[in-house]
Amino acid sequence: MKIIQARTDHVYIEQFQALPGQAWTLLGTNRSGIDDFFDLVSCRHLKGRAAERSLPDQPGVVSFKDQQAVYESELKKDQTDFMDRLDPGTPAGDFLKHIEAHADLIQALGMTDSLDKGYRQLSTGQTRKLLLLAPITRGVTCLVIQAPFDGLDPDSCKELDRAMFHLFSKGIQILMFVYNPTDIPSWTTHLGIVADGGLVFQGPADQVPASCLAQTSRPDFQVTARDFSPSDPAPPGVFEKKALVRLHRCTAGYGGRAVFTDLSLVVGRGDHTLVTGPNGSGKSTLLQVITGDHPACYTCDLTLFDIRRGSGESIWDIKQHMGIVSPDLHRNFRVPGSVLACILSGLFDSIGLYNPVTDTRKKQALAWLSRLDMASAAGVPFRDLSYADQRLVLIARALIKGPKLLILDEPTQGLDKPNRDAVLDFLADVAKDNLSTILYVSHRKDECRHFFVQHIRMVAPGV
């Protein structure tokens, strides 16, 4: 693989070459130009121009865009409205070729028992591993992978790391693009550092200068608790402790298969709660029950904001007190609309903006964009942003109304370490000043901050 004098809107690569027998990891922050570099070498999303570009024929590509494309394809085939149950989606095994010949690899990724599940029954981490397996089973000789470890629990990260090393040892060329130094595999032979729209270092992984690594530690934005306007602020010096969420002995799942049973949970005001557990343990399903996006919200004993679910309430009576960021919301935000409209839609809990807004609200949304250093992107279509910038905009969308309950399902997925730390530092301020109660799902050990006062550990079914 070779690229000479390649240029896009956000990156210029004077020269880059990856030789057979080398395992490359490319590292850069979200706005360093690394996403454009990924597009340059992935073949599937060619952009910009180059004096020379010699790339493998049909490399295997695993990216956020690929995941979104599969999700949208599954939506078009969803037959739930014509069935007496939820349509589980295309069987996972249908995405793969020559399954028997790759049984060892499928087992190494912990996917053997998931091949008979429908795509919509898979967790985010399981879909990531499935999309990695798909090109491998078609016989590709080169893999170009974007942020492979995002959304995976620690054990799954280890499984994926071992599987990719196995592929590399069998002659598969691997180019991995990551946003965090901790995601660099130990078996990486060569490292490239992308910063300020260029490749500032490329060479053996053990020779990277500390000064180049330092360029991956600057956050793109900084907000403080002063930027947050709660919808129901407590009077000065007064903080009333009452339950926002009461869930009693709830069972939920998909396709007749429970992912958790008899789960009880109480989240009081100020009880900032961290939910952890392996892929498939039901973390996201739990949040979907609470947000009303899973039918179990009507069959479970669930009370939100003193309103018993199933008592004739409107879903909007519930969601007006919530701010939500989740992979489901991100995937579902497919409607046309600008970045500004996306943030404003958080005031109405809608995917898309269909209500008139006041100039005051527009100024509020623009102020959030300024804090994210994205003021110039206000009129840009939301879907034209990078995955990471989309995620930052969705976080602003959740915060704009100052909700009582802030529900965050892997909110920092796709963010580099400095931007992740900036989000978590902001949440620490929100918690310190009792501005909202945080319900947070994470796979990452480095996101277990001191402000969490309750920790719910989910386990996989059958464990």
The tens digit of pLDDT for each residue in 426-435 reads: 899 889 988 8
**E strand or H helix that includes residue 354:** none
104 and 42, same domain (yes or no): yes
User: What pLDDT is stored for residue 24 in this prediction?
Assistant: 96
253 and 328, same domain (yes or no): yes
Query: Domain with 176 in it: what CATH number?
Result: 3.40.50.300
328 and 202, same domain (yes or no): no
User: What pLDDT is stored for residue 10 in this prediction?
Assistant: 86
pLDDT bin (cut points 50, 70, 90) of residue 79 is confident
The tens digit of pLDDT for each residue in 19-46 reads: 988 999 999 999 999 999 998 888 755 5
State which of 214, 241, 268 marks the end of a domain: 214
State which of 214, 240, 263 marks the end of a domain: 214
Residue 463 has pLDDT above 80, yes or no: no
219 is a domain residue:
no
Domain enclosing residue 6, as ranges: 2-214
The tens digit of pLDDT for each residue in 358-380 reads: 999 999 999 999 988 899 999 99
pLDDT bin (cut points 50, 70, 90) of residue 238 is very low
Residue 154 has pLDDT above 90, yes or no: no
What are the CA-CA distances from residue 106 to residues 111, 146, 419, 439 (Å)?
Answer: 6, 20, 33, 34
- Report the SS3 class of residue 447: helix
User: Residues in the chain, how many?
Assistant: 463
61 and 97, same domain (yes or no): yes
Structure tokens at 226: 């002063």
304 is a domain residue:
yes
The tens digit of pLDDT for each residue in 188-233 reads: 999 999 999 999 999 999 998 888 888 787 777 777 777 777 765 5
Residue 348 has pLDDT above 70, yes or no: yes
Q: Average pLDDT of 162-177?
A: 89
139 and 198, same domain (yes or no): yes
463 is a domain residue:
no
116 is a domain residue:
yes
317 is a domain residue:
yes
202 and 266, same domain (yes or no): no
Residue 11 has pLDDT above 70, yes or no: yes
157 and 268, same domain (yes or no): no
User: What pLDDT is stored for residue 231 in this prediction?
Assistant: 64
- The interaxial angle of helices 387-399 and 417-432, nearest 10 deg, is 10
* Burial (Cβ within 10 Å: 0-12, 13-18, ≥19) of residue 368: buried
C-alpha angle 389-391-397 in degrees, rounded to nearest 5: 105
d(CA 463, CA 461): 6
367 and 302, same domain (yes or no): yes
The tens digit of pLDDT for each residue in 260-310 reads: 999 999 999 999 999 999 888 899 899 999 998 888 888 899 999 988 887
State which of 193, 214, 235 marks the end of a domain: 214
pLDDT bin (cut points 50, 70, 90) of residue 445 is confident
Residue 343 has pLDDT above 90, yes or no: yes
361 is a domain residue:
yes
Residue 13 has pLDDT above 50, yes or no: yes
| Strand 190-195 with 405-409, pairing | unpaired
**Residue pair 254/120 in contact by the 8 Å Cβ criterion:** yes
Q: Average pLDDT of 57-72?
A: 80
**Bigger pLDDT: 24 vs 414:** 24
209 and 231, same domain (yes or no): no
Sequence-ordered list of residues with C-beta below 8 angstroms from that of 424, at least 6 positions apart, any chain = 412, 447, 449
For the chain, what is the total number of helices (H) and then of strands (E)?
14, 18
C-alpha angle 230-334-367 in degrees, rounded to nearest 5: 35
374 and 279, same domain (yes or no): yes
Domain count of the fold of the chain: 2
49 is a domain residue:
yes
Instruction: Tell me the residue type at 90.
Output: T
Global pTM reads: 0.82
152 and 230, same domain (yes or no): no
301 and 230, same domain (yes or no): yes
pLDDT bin (cut points 50, 70, 90) of residue 241 is low
User: What pLDDT is stored for residue 258 in this prediction?
Assistant: 87
pLDDT bin (cut points 50, 70, 90) of residue 86 is low
Residue 80 has pLDDT above 80, yes or no: no
